[in-house]
Every structure is written in structure tokens, then in C-alpha cells.
Amino acid sequence: MTFSWPWALLTALLIPLIFAIRWWARRRRRRAAVRVTSIALVRSALPGRTRWTRRIPAALFVAGLALLAVGAARPQATVPVPQTSATILLALDISGSMCSTDVDPNRLTAARKAAAKFIESQRDGPKIGLVTFAGTAGLLVPPTDDTDELIEALENLTTYRGTAIGQAMLASIDAIAQTDSSVAPTGADPGEAGEGYASAAIVVLTDGANTQGVDPQTAAQEAALRRVRVFTIGFGTTTPSPMVCDSSQVDSGFGNWGGGGFGGRGGFDRGRSPRVIDEPALQQIAKTTGGAYHRAENADELETALGTLPGSFTVIREQVDTAAVFAAGGAVLIAGALSLSLWWNRPRSPAR
């Protein structure tokens, strides 16, 4: 909690001052006390209250003054606020290794279903765009709130050679810039970095390592300069498995395909294994941009990873003035103290 007018907390010093005045007044009353000979007469004149109940009004009064003092300082609390104007760019890896069957029925199908479920869960929420990447990256669907268009686009994903993670991030930045004027496109001056993050984020889902194109760390720096966070997901296992995609998931010029399966490692750049995720690189991307890295070895873990992401970038924290709450609380306590004091000190009818 922060205070707009912290100096107003000095009004709390009135509380001990009030107690000092009360103590002084009671001492003066003792000096001016009238002596009486009948104790019974004194007892009959006193209100019928126990010792602890006599302190309740005073305690409520003090608590009320304390709340009013805090309210006068204009306290502000940080609260989570849903942000429906956010933009999410989902960058999906469609390299040949996504045909690996270590995730049933294969990585590409599992990723497509998890992405569709994620998009459906964000209906009437932030705008979502789709970028796909293999040897190159391209914008499949610009940021939109048309959930059906996004899910339909996922039905026609086709695998290609290569893995260009860095280029996918740059393509995502440009897609965001088309709908968010506060984010500069790549190649333009990003301007001075402001406080906080942009109301846009990139989610990169990949099962491998960058093999060509822009270095991912260079792209991460570009995103960081624009205050765009990148959340990375490493998908799949390191278990050697056959790579099988149906005909609709395979580019006709991909390489040596036979009987619906992928034969050999041809088409993968620089001799890298298509089953090895470059986790250090993905973790560094997330760290550079203020995002987070998630590991998903099966379809359930992938759905969980995607499901936990929106709370990270579609909910922002804002400073809310809570002075009215403290003022109202203080007024209620003081009113309660006065009411109890008047009730317990009301004149009593003489006993018959």
C-alpha cells in the first residue's frame, strides 16, 4: 500500500492528544469530587455496566480515528484488473519434427488441439493472432477476436523444413504493431522504453532449436525494447520416436516421405537433431523480455502451460484509491462508539 499524501498520517497524533486531554479532565473531576456518605446512593447512580464494556466505546472511537487518519493520507492499493484490450500472438512451430509421435498422435496434432482449446477459452477476451514458422515465418491470421477464424486456420497446418524461431518473433512484433500503435514495427525506432509492459505478448511454441534466420536473442532484444514479453514453450520429449504425419500435414516438397512417415533426417539444417529442444535459448528469450518458459512433454502439460499464460499478460495491476473505504470504516466505528456511549449512559427510571 502506498500513500498519495503520507504527511496526512500525522493526524494520527490527535489520538494520544485526545487521551491526554481525557486524562487531564478526569483528574480535575477527582479534585472537584463531592463527598457522599451513602455508597448505595452512588452505586444506584452509576450505569449498570461491567468494567470491560465501559471500554468498548473508547476502543471503537480510537479505531475510527485511526482509520480516518489513514484515509486522509489517500492510500492506494495495487489490484489486478482484467485487460480485454490485450493482444496475443501465438507463434507455432510447424517444422518437420512436429510429426514426431512421442506425443500421441503426433506433436503437430496435439499442438493444434491445445492451441484451439486455448483460443476458445479466450473468446470475448483479448485479440489473438497466429504466426507459423519452419524455415521461414509468416502471419497466418492477423490479431482478431474472431475465434472461429482462428480455429479454422489451425485445421490446415502443414510441416516444412527448418526452424526459424527468431524470425517468428519478429513477424509477431510486426503483427502486433499493425493493431497497437504503441508498439513500433521491426526496423523502426522503438523509442524510449517506458514503465511496465505493452498490452501485447508473444507465445512461442516450439519443439526444437533455431536452425536459420535471425538469432532468437537478437529478436528477443527487439521485443524487449518494445516492452513486449515473450513466453516460450518447449514441447515434446527426447525419446526417439517415428515421425508420422498424414498427407494433409506434409508439404509435397518436404523431402523423403513414404507411407505417411518421414524417412531420415534430411531437410533439417546444420545436422541438428529434430528432437532436441534448445531449452537454454528459450529460457533466455523469456528472461530477456520479462516472460516465462514452460516445459510440456505431453498434450496435457501443453494445455496446462497455455492455460496458465493469460493471467500473466491479460491481467494488469493498477493503483486504486481506497481512501473512501477507510473514511467510511472510520465513520461507522465512530458512530458506533457514540451510539453505544449514549445508550449505556441514558437516564434510567428510578427503581420502585
Q: Which of the listed ranges 45-54, 212-221, 260-269 does the model predict with the highest average pLDDT?
A: 212-221
User: Residue 261: is it exposed, middle or buried by C-beta count within 10 angstroms (0-12/13-18/19+)?
Assistant: middle
Instruction: Let me know if residue 94 belongs to a domain.
Output: yes
pLDDT for 259 equals 35
Q: Which of the listed ranges 10-14, 310-314, 330-334 does the model predict with the highest average pLDDT?
A: 330-334
Helix 216-225 and helix 279-289: axis angle, to 10°?
10
139 with 217, same domain: the answer is yes
pLDDT for 20 equals 73
255 with 341, same domain: the answer is no
pLDDT band at 31 (very low <50, low <70, confident <90, very high): low
61 with 116, same domain: the answer is no
Instruction: Let me know if residue 45 belongs to a domain.
Output: no
All three cell numbers of 70, joined, read 489513514
150 with 59, same domain: the answer is no
pLDDT band at 264 (very low <50, low <70, confident <90, very high): very low
Contact of 201 with 85, CB cutoff 8 Å: no
242 with 290, same domain: the answer is yes
Give the whole-angstrom CA distance, residue 285 versus residue 215: 11
Give the whole-angstrom CA distance, residue 168 versus residue 214: 9
pLDDT for 222 equals 96
Nearest Cα neighbor of 284 from 125, 165, 128, 117 is: 165
Angle ∠(173,177,178) on CA atoms, nearest 5: 125
Instruction: Let me know if residue 168 belongs to a domain.
Output: yes
> Beta strand pairing status for 257-258 and 137-144?
unpaired
Give the mean pLDDT of 209-225: 95
88 with 201, same domain: the answer is yes
98 with 59, same domain: the answer is no
278 with 340, same domain: the answer is no
60 with 200, same domain: the answer is no
Cα–Cα distance list, 174 to 123, 168, 246 (Å): 23, 10, 32
pLDDT for 263 equals 39
The set of residues, in sequence order, having a beta carbon less than 8 Å from that of 216 and lying 6+ positions away, is: 165, 166, 169, 210, 281, 285
Least trusted range by pLDDT, from 218-227, 296-305, 338-347: 338-347
Instruction: Let me know if residue 246 belongs to a domain.
Output: yes
293 with 146, same domain: the answer is yes
Report pLDDT digits (tens) over 110-138: 999 999 999 999 888 889 999 999 999 99
Please state whether 259 falls in left (phi above 0), alpha (psi between -120 and 50) or beta: left
Beta bridge partners of 94: none
Q: How many domains, the chain?
A: 2
Give the whole-angstrom CA distance, residue 200 versus residue 211: 27
200 with 266, same domain: the answer is yes
Instruction: Let me know if residue 29 belongs to a domain.
Output: no
Instruction: Let me know if residue 20 belongs to a domain.
Output: no
Instruction: Let me know if residue 9 belongs to a domain.
Output: no
Instruction: Let me know if residue 7 belongs to a domain.
Output: no
pLDDT for 86 equals 83
DSSP H/E element including 265: none
Give the whole-angstrom CA distance, residue 146 versus residue 16: 62
Domain span at 65? 54-69+336-346
With helix as H, strand as E and coil as C, how does 141-180 read?
EEEECCHHHHHHHHCCCCEECCCCHHHHHHHHHHHHHHHC
87 with 208, same domain: the answer is yes
CATH value at residue 102 = 3.40.50.410
Q: Which of the listed ranges 102-111, 117-126, 240-249, 330-339 does the model predict with the highest average pLDDT?
A: 102-111
pLDDT band at 293 (very low <50, low <70, confident <90, very high): very high
Per-residue pLDDT for 261 more than 60? no
The set of residues, in sequence order, having a beta carbon less than 8 Å from that of 52 and lying 6+ positions away, is: none
Report pLDDT digits (tens) over 182-199: 899 998 998 876 677 888
